[in-house]
Structure 1
Amino acid sequence: MLDALFSQSLVGLHLLDTDLRVVRVNTATPAMRDVPVEDVVGHRVDEVYGLLDADEVMALVRGVLDSGVPLVAHIVRAHRRGDPGHQYFHEISVFRLETPSGDVLGLAVAVVEVTEREESRAREVVLEMTREHVGRTLDVLETCQELVDVLVPRVADIAVVEVVDAVLRGDHPPLAPLPRDVPLRRAAFRSAAGGGSTGTDADAPQAHPLGDVRALPGPTPYTQALSDLRPRAVASLDEDLPWLAADPARARAIRAAGAHTLITAPLTVRDTVLGLISLYRTRQGEPYDEDDVSLLLQVADHTALSIDNARRYTREHTIAATVQRQLLPRRPSSHPALETTPLLLPPDSGGQWYDTIPLSGARTGLAVGGVVGRGLHAAAVMGQLRTVVRSLAAFDVEPDELLARLNDTATFLAAERATLPTADPLHRQALAARFAYAVYDPLTLTCTVAGAGSPSLVVVHADGSTEVRNVPAGSLLGSEDKTPFAATAFTVPEGSLLILSDTPLPALVASGDADALRRLAEQHRGRPLEDLRDDVLYALAGSAEPGPTALLLVRTHPFPADRVGVWQLPDTPTVVATARRLVRDRLADWGVERETAHDTELIVSELVTNAVRYGSPPLELRVINDRALTCEVRDGSASTPRLRHASVADEGGRGLFIVAQLAQAWGTRYTPEGKIIWTEQNPPPG
């Protein structure tokens, strides 16, 4: 049986003595067909076989001889005589041979060639790593770098990925064949020689640096692969190849790196060209074969899908950011008693917004909010909600009532979304939004605020003291929770800094970060508001609870006393003439032109007449010279005047109609003491 095994079995059998010399060898194995027996018998294993890890293998074999513990199915790498450029894998099992009395005679070694199995297994490992590690982020450049990190050194010694430049911007990729004037950006590079991801190592030369954008000269295997979308394998990169002259820079890099074989494949999705993968071997001796081509095609397919997903995300992200910028106010409204600056974190999520809304009576509405989610759909919902907020604010409703009406709109939009087809991704995304709304009155120095979600309001006083106002938390807009919204009012001294946010500010509000507020309080006086916004951004950047946040920084200033007139009026019919005279004198002091002053007198006459006839005392007249010329008449009645068209025979009923014709805007604002009828006209010159 032993004679048959050693002469006919395809399993490589070796008998070694205690000096690890070959005593007998199987001559029927493919590895021994071209090797004379005398060149093996009598020699040590590491002397006759081209073991790539000879010291490690001999240490393992000697360990079996010393301990008696067999070595089973261990993989070793070796070269064969006459084929030094190819690497073979062998599975060896080693057993110690002993006499019945326990004397050690030597070793029995069984060898099976498993090159094909190990190469197939290695390709499966590369595919598995590609699926696991490539495409983890929605970033084209990061995806390309992940790819070369997987391929080097497992498949190549040098890997280069070039991407159509338009793809990086999210544009649609061009159809194949790729026109020669389409530029490609060098997106990723890696070399086993030590160049890493930067390509700056002298042992890893590149034709062009990372980030370089240029069209590929041709004809070359690279341009051909991009033309017919088929891979190209070049077994030998000798200097006589004619196509190397078409791309001198790449030819110099190939020679400098010592690359001897090349394989290049296109990155394609649905007959469109995304880019190109190029692999080179410098240290690995064997050229690329058909199995390598098949592997690269599978890797390229996965990578192309990942790049296309990243491109689509980039495109949608760009569109959402553009829509958000178009829907947001170009700049916060200016006001003599108020300056504001916004801060959106992140600035391009699509669903966050801010607004400063001019209101009657020199007041300003301050709004910050964010739609849960990101992308174009969040930006669209944001635009809808911002428009509704603007419309509701024009009716002078209180912040808590505004939130209740806004929540009705959000609930309606959520119900519409729920009726979408189940295949629509939006059907599974609940619509919800955070929101905070405050109204600041510079004449009474009061601020009234309400919120949906968990808003926060930090007040930094002019004397350096700080406080965190307790804003009543409400349910998210669009939720099924029917909890009513609540508002709170407080006094804001002149020269204060307010930070209004639709979410908690952990980096500023947390008790452990009181120093952050103190530093902000010490620094805010006399500094531009934009600089303070940067300080808040830096403080939030170190927060342990990052998340989408919309903030509005507000600094209050004293309202000029000479730009407002307030008079208490008696409840008598003759007070109308007195009111006209008071307003006439004040408008003259302000330099208001006669035509505007005449209209204002008529407006005041009609408003005071209505207050005397239909209202109740006390009566108050206020004129404000602000962004508009505002007239306000306050009385103690809660009844609302109604604009109507009087008939020809009617002796009255035309007062509000006349007011509406002379004023740009008019309305009613309710207070705990009664109501205010107000009008706005064009501001006086200067």
Structure 2
Amino acid sequence: MTELSETHDDPFAPHLAALAVLDDRGTVVGWNRRAQELLGHPDTAVIGRPAFEVLADPRDLPAVRDAAASCRRDSGWFGVLNVRHSDGRLLEMGLRAQALSRGGHSREWFLAGALAVDVLEWQRDRAVLDGLYRRCPIGLVVHGPDLRLLRVNRAIERFSGVPAAEFRGLPTGCFLVPDDARRAVDRVRQVMETGRPTVYSEQFVRLEWDPARERVAMVSSFPMEDASGRVLGVAEMIEDITERHRAQRRLGLLDQAGSRIGTTLDVAETARELAEVMVPHLADHASVDLLRPVTCGGELAQALAEPVVRVGVCSVGAQQAGPPHPHGEPVEFGPDTPQARCLAEGRPVLEPVLPPDWYSKEGHQGAHAPALGAHSLIVVPVAARGLVLGVMTLWRSRRPDPFEADDLTLAQELASRAAVAIDNARRFTQQQQTAFTLQSSLLPRTVPDQSAVEVAMRYLPASAAPGLGGDWFDVIPLSGARVALVVGDVVGRGIHAAATMGRLRTAVHTLASLDLEPDEVLSRLDDLVDLLAAEQEAAGERPVGEQVIGATCLYAVYDPVSGRCSMARAGHPPPAVTAPDGQVELLDLPAGPPLGLGGLPFEARDVELTEGSLLSLYTNGLIGERHIDADVGLTKLCAALTHPADALERTCQAVVDSLVPSRPGDDVALLIARTRTLPPDDVASWRLPPEPASAARARALTSAKLTEWGLEHLAFTTELIASELVTNVYRYAGGPATLRLIRERCLVCEVSDTSHTSPHLRRARTTDEGGRGLFLVAQMAERWGTRYTREGKTVWTEQPLAGTST
């Protein structure tokens, strides 16, 4: 017997109840086995004894006497009393008493008892069963094994309009249209054959008496079995959820729109998302047409005079009327079309019924009906912040029911939500264009002419982030044939980040012209970032004490004469060096704090770079994308740099292909430099003692070397420059001087000493005996300057090689 059938069995049934018979004096004269099982008293212990004495508790005697009196008065009684068990316990039992006549005035009493909890459960089950058939608002249908109806409840009577009594014996699905009736039969048969219930199955049905209206029913089915497992039929719970389903569908569409529309700051993508949300839940076809300035981030002051561009289209299951209109191309709406009226007036249009020849009328061809047979139309404005950005058009052709007022309200709500996202995308596009123009003007456009390194560069702006970033790179020629390689990244995005990047890049150029060491350059940049932050705080552009301006930077200076590279970094990823044999190493440079923290030192480190080595500098956008771990990114970077002999542009592209996704989430700057060294024959160096004769010695050495190089035409000026610089060392430095000549793009003349005293250019008076040396040097050289080292300083000059003899 199943659990359900046990629950519904009558606890007072003869095979389940404890039975006893009492004579008119209350003496037990009958006692069955079930009574012995429940109360523990064998029949020999109770028969012939007063029931009050054996079974009743003395404390309950008043209640027992009242029950006995009621029983004599009414010839029957039902109630709950405490009955004594043989072990002394009291059991709460439900009791039924019925008088049995023996003739004359003599009577016996038939007692049936069951545990009170079983009686209560049985009463509840009876109440539930009665409620299911008489009061339950959910329909109940019982199908027999022959697929005919056994019984239905009052809810089915109200749902179908047929009295419940008339359903008995009718075939399953009798009140549905034929197609739906066949599906109902198949569903019941499957449950009956498999024994597996179905729970909350949504069924779209039409009733026989109202076939034009589609309803939605929630159906749960389960098999009914007897104690032996034989199938007695199938019971189905059926609830009409048509209105709830429609409301949930509208709410679901609103929720879906919230998660699907506006996922990117891209106008066309947002328009496509809007069209795709509409189909097929609300319409069979949808198009979104926007004014051209909206699609390209323009202003909307005179937008209504601009062409309309179709940017979002979605259709299902219908043949298009003519070739599909290409996305992004202008469309023209006739003056009398709903789209034209909607654009001009900013009000929605609902055409629930369209004549068959509506789209063939003059002027309506511009409406671009997407399918033959479209019978209903909605046009709503795509408007945000008081501006009409375009229109959304919805058609129905496959589903027979026309658009209703609720559909128009829903379309307006969805179009309004999408319009805000589209306008945000328009504004973002406008800001992106401004920032990109600014950033493009600030980044280097060409690699300056220099002999130290061969360079390849890449800059990839983020495609999904709100605004361009502040990544930058630079190649800056320095004195002595050296070159500075710089990569940096400003915190933040947009115009402010691009402007800050421009200021820092300008500062780096200025500091590089001073020939400062890399750690000194970063220290000066750190001071500048602190100054910019203070300016923002004073202007009220940021809260006091909150650091919003910051940057990372890596500054490297490579000397092609010595092959040494000095580098320092401020919170920036470490550079990668590829040796000529293909071994790749991430240089262990002191990390240093990011720029803007202030007060913390930076440390430079020198490394030897073999000619033909690759030095790769990059920003964290290359290795720090959200889809990969930074360590994984560094591993991929090293793997892409293992071919130093390849063309630099090819290597640069290989790095981008390996690490940068099609839509990077952060800006990427990459700078790869292949090192060169100057031939030893192009460099000459002499050490001169601190004595008056050193000036003449410098002239002689310079003249001889320039003759050897075929630069006799520069001998006079160079001799004079070398003589003056060496004389200054003898007079003011008090130590030995080092004279060095370098032949590369220009002729470089350098004089180094151990003094940190800075030479100053001044115009000597006519009465002065000296002070004209540097003035003459500046007049004869194209460029000149001073750079400082830990050991002293170097005064250098550059002269063009024009007119070199061959």
Matched, 1:238 2:238: no
In the superposition, relative to structure 1, how do residues 675 and 212 fare at CA in structure 2: closer, same or farther (>3 Å)?
closer
- CA shift at 1:242, angstroms? 6.0
1:91–1:112 CA contact under 8 A, matched in 2: yes
Aligned length: 658
| C-alpha separation in 2, matches of 1:92 and 1:155 | 25
In the superposition, relative to structure 1, how do residues 213 and 331 fare at CA in structure 2: closer, same or farther (>3 Å)?
same
- Name 2:128's counterpart in structure 1: none
- CA shift at 1:52, angstroms? 7.5
- Name 1:385's counterpart in structure 2: 504
SS of equivalent residue, structure 2 residue 357: coil
- Name 2:459's counterpart in structure 1: 344
- Name 1:607's counterpart in structure 2: 725
| C-alpha separation in 1, matches of 2:478 and 2:447 | 14
- CA shift at 1:611, angstroms? 1.0
- CA shift at 1:674, angstroms? 2.2
1:93–1:111 CA contact under 8 A, matched in 2: yes
Q: How does 1:1-20 map to 2 (within 5 A)?
A: 18=144, 20=148
Letter of the 1:498 partner, please give it. L
- Name 1:656's counterpart in structure 2: 774
Letter of the 1:492 partner, please give it. L
The sequence identity of aligned pairs, in percent, is 38
- Name 1:576's counterpart in structure 2: 695
In the superposition, relative to structure 1, how do residues 206 and 118 fare at CA in structure 2: closer, same or farther (>3 Å)?
farther
In the superposition, relative to structure 1, how do residues 108 and 552 fare at CA in structure 2: closer, same or farther (>3 Å)?
closer
1:16–1:24 CA contact under 8 A, matched in 2: yes
Write out per-residue CA displacement over residues 47-98 of structure 1, whole angstroms, 9 at most, x where no aligned residue: 3334875455556778999999999998654446686554344678999999
- Name 1:437's counterpart in structure 2: 555
Q: How does 1:370-381 map to 2 (within 5 A)?
A: 370-381=489-500
1:70–1:93 CA contact under 8 A, matched in 2: yes
Matched, 1:183 2:303: no
- Name 1:269's counterpart in structure 2: 384
- Name 2:605's counterpart in structure 1: 488
| C-alpha separation in 1, matches of 2:392 and 2:693 | 91
Matched, 1:679 2:804: no
- TM-score calculated relative to the size of structure 2: 0.71
Q: How does 1:229-628 map to 2 (within 5 A)?
A: 229-241=346-358, 244-248=361-365, 253-255=370-372, 258-346=373-461, 349-419=468-538, 421=540, 430-480=548-598, 482-503=599-620, 517=638, 520-521=641-642, 523-525=643-645, 527-541=646-660, 548-587=667-706, 594=713, 598-628=716-746
| From 209, 213, 230, the counterpart of 2:329 | 213
- CA shift at 1:306, angstroms? 1.0
Q: CA RMSD in A?
A: 4.4
| C-alpha separation in 2, matches of 1:499 and 1:15 | 77
SS of equivalent residue, structure 1 residue 47: coil
In the superposition, relative to structure 1, how do residues 10 and 675 fare at CA in structure 2: closer, same or farther (>3 Å)?
closer
- CA shift at 1:40, angstroms? 8.4
1:220–1:243 CA contact under 8 A, matched in 2: no
- CA shift at 1:441, angstroms? 0.5
Work out which of the two has the higher radius of gyration on C-alpha atoms and give 1 or 2.
2
| C-alpha separation in 1, matches of 2:544 and 2:498 | 13
- Name 2:299's counterpart in structure 1: 172
Letter of the 1:524 partner, please give it. P
In the superposition, relative to structure 1, how do residues 240 and 347 fare at CA in structure 2: closer, same or farther (>3 Å)?
closer
| C-alpha separation in 2, matches of 1:382 and 1:74 | 61
1:40–1:48 CA contact under 8 A, matched in 2: no
- Name 2:123's counterpart in structure 1: none
| C-alpha separation in 2, matches of 1:519 and 1:30 | 75
In the superposition, relative to structure 1, how do residues 24 and 577 fare at CA in structure 2: closer, same or farther (>3 Å)?
closer
Matched, 1:163 2:283: no
In the superposition, relative to structure 1, how do residues 90 and 654 fare at CA in structure 2: closer, same or farther (>3 Å)?
same
2:462–2:668 CA contact under 8 A, matched in 1: no
Matched, 1:119 2:246: yes
- CA shift at 1:313, angstroms? 1.9
- CA shift at 1:134, angstroms? 1.4
Write out per-residue CA displacement over residues 538-579 of structure 1, whole angstroms, 9 at most, x where no aligned residue: 232389x98544321111223244544333333321332332
1:225–1:264 CA contact under 8 A, matched in 2: yes
SS of equivalent residue, structure 1 residue 48: coil
Letter of the 1:613 partner, please give it. R
Bigger CA drift: 433-442 or 527-536? 527-536
Structure with more contact order per residue of length (Cα contacts < 8 Å, sep ≥ 6): 1
2:612–2:644 CA contact under 8 A, matched in 1: no
Bigger CA drift: 308-317 or 351-360? 308-317
| C-alpha separation in 2, matches of 1:254 and 1:186 | 18
Q: How does 1:33-112 map to 2 (within 5 A)?
A: 43-44=170-171, 46-50=173-177, 53-54=180-181, 57=184, 76-79=203-206, 84-89=211-216
| C-alpha separation in 1, matches of 2:684 and 2:197 | 104
1:79–1:88 CA contact under 8 A, matched in 2: yes
Letter of the 1:134 partner, please give it. I
Unaligned runs of 5+ residues in structure 1 are 194-201
In the superposition, relative to structure 1, how do residues 509 and 601 fare at CA in structure 2: closer, same or farther (>3 Å)?
farther
| C-alpha separation in 1, matches of 2:167 and 2:302 | 60
Letter of the 2:424 partner, please give it. N
| C-alpha separation in 1, matches of 2:552 and 2:340 | 52
SS of equivalent residue, structure 1 residue 643: coil
- TM-score calculated relative to the size of structure 1: 0.82
Letter of the 1:126 partner, please give it. L
| C-alpha separation in 2, matches of 1:151 and 1:561 | 74
